[in-house]
Structure 1
Amino acid sequence: MKILVLGATGATGRLIVGKAVAEGHEVVALVRAKAKAADIAGAELVEGDARDPAALTRAIAGCDAVVSSLGTAMSPFREVTLLSTATRALVGVMEQQAVRRLVCITGLGAGDSRGHGGFVFDRLFLPLMLRKVYEDKDRQENVIRASTLDWTVVRPTVLNDKPARGAIKALTDLSGVHGGTIARSDVADFVVQQLTTDAWLRKTPLITW
């Protein structure tokens, strides 16, 4: 399968590219600057802005699926629009180019997973440091839900850089969930798995250890 990865230069995105390449997928990465992505092995690099439909159209040519691992820095005060703007452009290009499969990473605290992050995350970290980011993640998810695509939205709990465990929990019933953590490597494995299964089609699994 040929896949386009957005956010390939991020910590999780790099692992997704590596996992996809290791599993025999052909990978295209849309990056802002090729020079800063030269160490991403095994992927074809296409330079451009993920919010630009023309750049997305160039990058998606011949692809069968898209993985979005776009992220943005904490922004306590400044409005955040990158995620929803890029996703709106992406959905439009995918629908126009008849590329149907989209796997997108958002996070615990987006949509109906809000309130399941535990006391510190829900009462302190999210409202004080991540409120603007998560408002945009909500808009991002709404864009995807309103599309005609075959989508899966993956919501990891708090990310860490520990070795993958291989055994994770994927949940849509969040009763009893109050926080959690998961390795980026396990997230990458789960995301790449979704390219070849419909088990979580049009669902928003929260994944955690």
Structure 2
Amino acid sequence: MKIGIVGATGKAGSLILDEAVSRGHEVTAIVRNAAKLTSDNVSVIEKDVHDTNEEDFRGLEVVINAFGAPLGEKDAHVEAGRALINALAGTGIRLIVVGGAGSLYIDDSKTMTVIDTPNFPDIFKPTAGGQSENLEELEQTTNVKWTFISPSADFDAEGKRTGTYEKGEDVLLVNNAGESYISYADFAIAVIDEAENADHVNARFTVVGEKE
């Protein structure tokens, strides 16, 4: 497949890029600084996501939004998400968004989301709020094929690649140890699986993994 990855030099984006390349996909990295790329096996568009347009993505089948906003900036995720919605509108190119866990419900009653729980850290609320707003805009979009993937509450950048994960819809999951956990590496597997299989078009899903 021809896959574009926005934010391909970030913690999540770089692992998603590696996963895509390892499976033989033709990858285009959309990054602000191409010098930070660690892979030579990709095409590059050196551009801020906010400045992208339909022409930048022509010929791609999937665009993965792994844009990472600085901690505390709510609007950054919203504006980056909106830029991609506008660029991909009516093109038929699928948009897969690396989301957050804050918008997930804490149980099947669906009366409270993770971000509204008393112990949710204030420092993460702007980021989680921006990601939640991006999801809301996607849900109101009719001319883009999108998927929003929420990680578990403990999203571990240093965690091992176990090669397995479990999926759910919009309720926070826990693993066999009772932990809401997934490594970035296993999350990357889930992202590329979705790119290949298109199991959740115009929907959000979530994933949980095991610690190794």
For 1:89, the equivalent position in structure 2 comes to 83
For 1:46, the aligned partner's letter is I
Deviation at 1:207, TM superposition (A): 0.7
- 1:1-209 equivalence runs, <5 A: 1-37=1-37, 39-52=38-51, 55-75=52-72, 79-96=73-90, 98-110=91-103, 112=105, 115-116=113-114, 122-126=117-121, 128-147=122-141, 148-157=143-152, 158-160=154-156, 161-172=158-169, 174=171, 180-209=180-209
- The verdict on how the C-alpha distance between 1:35 and 1:181 changes in structure 2, with shifts beyond 3 A counting, is same
Contact 1:51 1:82 in 2 (8 A): no
Please report the TM-score for the alignment, with normalisation by the length of structure 1.
0.84
> What is the distance in 2 between the residues matched to 1:162 and 1:176?
17
| AA aligned opposite 2:5 | V
Unaligned runs of 5+ in 2: 107-111
- Secondary structure at the counterpart of residue 204 of structure 1: strand
Q: Which amino acid aligns with 2:155?
A: L
- Shift of the alpha carbon at 1:68? 0.8
Contact 2:173 2:180 in 1 (8 A): no
Cα deviation for residue 34 of structure 1 reads 1.7
RMSD: 2.3
Distance 1:107 1:74, change over 3 A: same
Contact conserved, 1:65 with 1:102, CA < 8 A, in 2?
Answer: yes
**Normalization by structure 2: what TM-score?**
0.83
Q: Is the 8 A contact 1:111 1:141 kept in 2?
A: no
Query: Aligned pair count?
Result: 198
> What percent identity do the matched residue pairs reach?
24
* Greater helix share, structure number: 1
Runs of 4+ in 1 over 6 A off after TM superposition: none
Aligned residue identity for 1:135: G
Gaps of 5+ in 1: none
- Cα deviation for residue 106 of structure 1 reads 0.7
